[in-house]
A = this chain, B = another copy of it.
């Protein structure tokens, strides 16, 4: 919990009006800037104090051995972990004889503002040194959306009431000391000095370039900086390089009111293959291009890029300013994680921290990509192209596991499986169906035949083949998928997990459909009519376990016969996984995160309304939400089955996961899936938005706390704006061809005119739902 966030609630910014070093770690994550290629944690310019200094390049990782007390066949031997690369955001300041360090002297004022439309982090400070000399400092930082390899800082220091001598030291620094490792398995593996210096060129003209190589993974990375300095005439500048550091020193005297301004442009590149010289030139070239654009040009480009984004992606929430802020904050971070991927993955924490070792998981496909599909689709094509590019590794992994097709990794940076605990890793084969789901949803929304053929088809075919080798028809002809783990990580290695089976069914059908749409390319992938028949037969006979006595689906076969978890004896020992052994969690009815409930969201066609209501109530009582991936799904299904107030609470949890540090690990980075969850809870929950079969459907229904909900989304070339009040919903076509959408089942033709339809009345169901004691969502 961020106890003293000192955040103000405003619609288009995250503003911290008072510095609290106790939550520095969390604010470093919240204020992180990224464009999906470069990520900078919101560290203070002067480098210290810090919780976790962090500069990341998407895809750039170091290897570490994965040890096992008892090894087994097929266990991954080495893991990939995100590297804190050369830090280019350090600008140190000496005021008189005293270093500018907030732990000393007097801080009169301090503000940090993340501007969601400008795409900048601006900091202002008014500080007096221990000897009393006051300065005003303003820095504005950005990671450019338009120059992929560039970040920039505009740093200004001003004398206040007396002349002062100031020295600014702007640095590139590698192999920074890291904080100590924690015992929490969700944190990252610590790495000591992972970078080996290969080149260090530092000039007095403001240019500095360093090339390093990672010790084990052998990746090469270059960082460069260039400076423009405005200050008094008598200003000394000197560049000097040392071990793992390139430093430009700027010394001057400032009269009261006078300002020294340093514009720092910095640039990154990394490669597995390119030479030292090539990488050096690459960052130098990026700097040259950025110099051409200039600081003002970078800022302007940033705003234009974001204006275009918000035009197609904004969500308006009237009546709840906190959620309004949170959902935009979330969309901003989502965009930051994905904007300039260019065939790299979206990690669970984006590039905002080292949580989960910087790995990408299934939640990208199931939570993040669906949002981007309707708001920023190029990123989805990028992310799925990355999956496509790892197909050879996934096929190799399948072969190693004795399976057909491709087995995508549970967690990875580069594509190899990095999971060190197979029951909650390798066995969670649903990741493959999740990728297929993201493909299917993207193809439905974009109707992009080239993607469908070049990227979607091979992904669908190879994942369908995996299911054929994992599943089998039993003696009575039913198709079973045994011994796998579904989304709920408190139940593992089970037979016929509903979620897995329903998504595998969808996967098999989608592969068959895609192969029939593209018979030529499918043929080149070796797909035969016989194989397509096999896929359809498996899908047709798929087992979906149902408990007739209770009238609910069984999360997996036998699940509802297990003992119930003893919540009364649990006290506040959450998350359970840190207090109870897996064996105890696995053998009882306790659910970490939405599983059947997620299946109901993603496969609405597979459940009757009565089943949805019964399942929701049953699993609600068992679900402890020890994962950030749960609240938004519970919001969606709570809204669908009629519990609007409960849905509203879950919306709050999803939206405030990071702003309120609900899982107490925002310090390791923000939770991309939960940030996406705010959109999902609003749009799919209260907007009732579902898509599929070339059709957008809505069923808006607002909770008491929201007076109007507006959102925009793109579907098959049309940009649709939906604005719902409690009584009615207005649909507008903002761009693109006319489109027909469904409003609560009724066809609405959208052309030039906006259309308003009343929302049918909804009543809270009679059935009471309850959560495990103490796990009720926070009231809003």
Contacts and interface: CB of A to CB of B under 8 A. Distances in A.
B70 A67 contact: no
A79 B426 CA distance: 26
A492 to B, nearest CB: 8
B549 A475 contact: yes
B583 A73 contact: no
Contacts of A577: 72-73
A404 to B, nearest CB: 12
Interface string A65-91: 011111111111001000000000000
B423 A484 contact: no
A703 interface: no
Given A475-B549, A495-B558, A402 B69 contact: no
A426 B584 CA distance: 11
A256 interface: no
Contact of A70 (B419, B492, B579, B580): B419
Interface string A467-490: 000001011000010111000000
Given A420-B68, A549-B475, A558-B557, A581 B482 contact: no
A71 B419 CA distance: 12
A578 B482 CA distance: 21
A423 B582 CA distance: 9
A482 B562 contact: yes
Contacts of A66: 69
A475 B71 CA distance: 39
Contact of A493 (B426, B482, B493): B493
A71 B563 CA distance: 26
Contacts of A295: none
Interface in A412-427: 419-427
Contacts of A131: none
Q: Tell me if A's interface is mostly helix, strand, loop or mixed.
A: loop
Contact of A420 (B70, B482, B562, B586): B70
A561 interface: yes
B185 A70 contact: yes
Nearest to A189: B69
Interface residues on A, range: 35 or more
A298 B423 CA distance: 55
A401 B72 contact: no
A483 B185 CA distance: 23
Interface string A544-582: 000001000000011001110000000000000111111
A761 to B, nearest CB: 38
A587 interface: yes
A476 to B, nearest CB: 9
A74 B577 CA distance: 10
A691 to B, nearest CB: 34
B72 A581 contact: yes
A421 B558 contact: no
Given A426-B581, A581-B74, A421 B483 contact: no
A75 B580 CA distance: 10
A26 to B, nearest CB: 24
Nearest to A470: B587
Contacts of A493: 423, 492-493, 583, 586-587
A422 B185 contact: no
B557 A482 contact: no
B68 A69 contact: yes
Nearest to A471: B563
A563 B73 contact: no
A189 to B, nearest CB: 9
A482 B587 contact: yes
B483 A583 contact: yes
One complex includes copies of this chain to the number of: 2
Interface string A629-643: 000000000000000
Which of A185, A402, A420 has most chain B Cβ within 10 Å? Answer: A402
Given A66-B69, A68-B67, A561-B474, A582 B402 contact: no
A583 B401 contact: yes
A471 to B, nearest CB: 8
Interface in A182-201: 183, 185
B73 A581 contact: yes
A579 B399 CA distance: 12
A582 B425 CA distance: 12
A66 B70 CA distance: 8
Interface string A528-551: 000000000000000000000100
B185 A72 contact: yes
B583 A421 contact: no
Nearest to A563: B472
B579 A73 contact: yes
Nearest to A76: B69
Given A493-B493, A558-B557, A582 B482 contact: no
B421 A72 contact: yes
Contacts of A423: 423, 493, 583
A79 B73 contact: no
Contact of A426 (B420, B492, B583): B583
Contacts of A562: 480, 482-483, 495
A569 to B, nearest CB: 8
Contacts of A76: 69
Contacts of A474: 561
Contacts of A586: 483, 493
B421 A70 contact: yes
Contacts of A183: 71
Contacts of A472: 563
Contacts of A483: 562, 583-584, 586-588
Contacts of A425: 70
Contact of A422 (B71, B427, B558, B583): B583
A675 to B, nearest CB: 25
A66 B71 CA distance: 11
B480 A584 contact: no
A76 B579 CA distance: 14
Given A402-B581, A475-B549, A558-B558, A482 B563 contact: yes
Which of A400, A427, A583, A588 has most chain B Cβ within 10 Å? Answer: A583
Interface of A: 66-76, 79, 183, 185, 400-403, 419-427, 472, 474-475, 480, 482-484, 492-493, 495, 549, 557-558, 561-563, 577-584, 586-588
28 contacts: A67-B67, A67-B69, A68-B69, A69-B76, A69-B420, A70-B419, A70-B420, A71-B183, A72-B185, A72-B421, A73-B578, A401-B581, A401-B583, A422-B582, A422-B583, A423-B583, A426-B583, A474-B561, A475-B561, A480-B563, A483-B583, A492-B493, A493-B493, A493-B583, A493-B586, A495-B587, A557-B558, A558-B558
Given A67-B69, A68-B420, 13 more contacts: A66-B69, A70-B420, A73-B578, A400-B581, A402-B584, A403-B584, A427-B583, A480-B562, A482-B563, A482-B588, A483-B587, A483-B588, A495-B561
Question: 6 nearest interchain CB pairs?
Answer: A69-B420, A483-B587, A67-B67, A66-B69, A74-B581, A472-B563
